[in-house]
């Protein structure tokens, strides 16, 4: 999987060849360092390595940290030695992976820390960068959060439009139970009345969409452990602790993979 993902990324960047790297003698060799300019949780080692493996398998990478590790500003991430053209051609693609996935992992760690001690799981969503679904889902786990469904194929999540099309919460749930009994089924509700209907229809996992803190507490009391409850909608680092303390089991956060800011990394050549 990593191999095919990197192959596409390199094809996108290199096209018919790196015209600028061709200015360097083919036999030239160099050493470079990757420095992280800010505090971060590192993620993306496998993709970074694969970039240079595909360009020149003789490139040697010496890592000073690994996926999931927290590092401080101005930390040395890794050192590379090998063919200069390969190092130059792979620089941007390799850093794109490392800084984007580290950005996802770093944000995930902030959210995980925000609910520490509550027992609540923080879940990602399908709001990922196109083409980076599996990579970002992995980065979320490196940051200490958890994956929701990977895509539309591995679980059923009945949302507002599905309910509208099916006719009711009960009708949608009954259809899901008949057609997809072998996968997890979750239903989204927007009111306490819909919550009651979902419980009566046998829902085992319920998403509470944009509930206030008071309504979340009421929902937790009504369910009484009969189903797993997930809070969602407008969650931020400032509000997530209060949501967790209402007693819900899970909180899904689209921002984990949607509002990602790449970590500031730089690759610099140095002399022996």
List the catalytic residue out of 188, 194, 230, 249.
Answer: 188
| HEC per residue, the chain | CHHHHHHHHHHHHHCCCCCCHHHCCCCCEEEEEEEECCCEECCCHHHHHHHHHHHCCCCEEEECCCCCCEECCCEEEEEEEEEHHHHHHHHHHHHHHHHHHHHHHHHHHHHHHHCCCCCCEEECCCCCCCCCHHHHHHHHHHCCCECCCCCCCCCEEECHHHHHHHCCHHHHHHHHHHHCCCCCEEEEECCHHHHHHHHHCCCCEEEEECCCHHHHHHHHHHHCCCCEEEEECCCCCCCHHHHHCCCCCEEECCHHHHCCCCCCEEEEEECC
List the catalytic residue out of 7, 37, 92, 222.
Answer: 92
List the catalytic residue out of 186, 209, 249, 250.
Answer: 209
Active-site annotation holds for 188: yes
List the catalytic residue out of 29, 31, 33, 127.
Answer: 127
List the catalytic residue out of 29, 33, 133, 159.
Answer: 159
Q: Would you please indicate which residues are annotated as catalytic (active-site) residues?
A: 92, 127, 159, 188, 209
């Amino acid at each position: 999987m990593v191999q095919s993902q990197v192959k596409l990324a390199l094809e996108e960047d290199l096209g018919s060849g790196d015209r600028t790297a061709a200015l360097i003698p083919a036999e030239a060799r160099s050493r470079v360092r990757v420095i992280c300019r800010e505090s971060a949780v590192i993620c993306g080692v496998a993709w970074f390595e694969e970039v240079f493996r595909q360009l020149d398998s003789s490139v040697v990478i010496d890592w000073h940290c690994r996926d999931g590790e927290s590092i401080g500003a101005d930390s040395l991430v890794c050192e590379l030695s090998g063919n200069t053209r390969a190092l130059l051609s792979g620089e941007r693609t390799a850093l794109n992976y490392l800084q984007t996935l580290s950005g996802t992992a770093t944000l995930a760690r902030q959210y995980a820390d925000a609910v520490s001690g509550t027992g609540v799981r923080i879940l990602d969503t399908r709001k990922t960068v196109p083409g980076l679904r599996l990579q970002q889902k992995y980065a979320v786990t490196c940051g200490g959060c958890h994956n929701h469904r990977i895509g539309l194929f591995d679980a059923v999540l009945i949302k507002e439009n599905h309910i509208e099309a099916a006719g009711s919460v009960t009708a949608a749930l009954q259809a899901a139970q008949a057609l997809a009994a072998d996968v997890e089924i979750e239903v989204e509700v927007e009111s306490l009345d819909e919550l009651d209907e979902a419980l009566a229809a046998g829902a085992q996992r319920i998403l509470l969409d944009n509930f206030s803190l008071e309504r979340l507490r009421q929902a937790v009391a009504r369910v009484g452990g009969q189903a797993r409850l997930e809070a969602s909608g407008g969650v931020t680092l400032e509000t997530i602790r209060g949501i967790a303390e209402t007693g819900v089991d899970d909180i899904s956060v689209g921002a984990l993979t949607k509002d990602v800011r790449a970590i500031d990394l730089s690759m610099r050549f140095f002399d022996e």
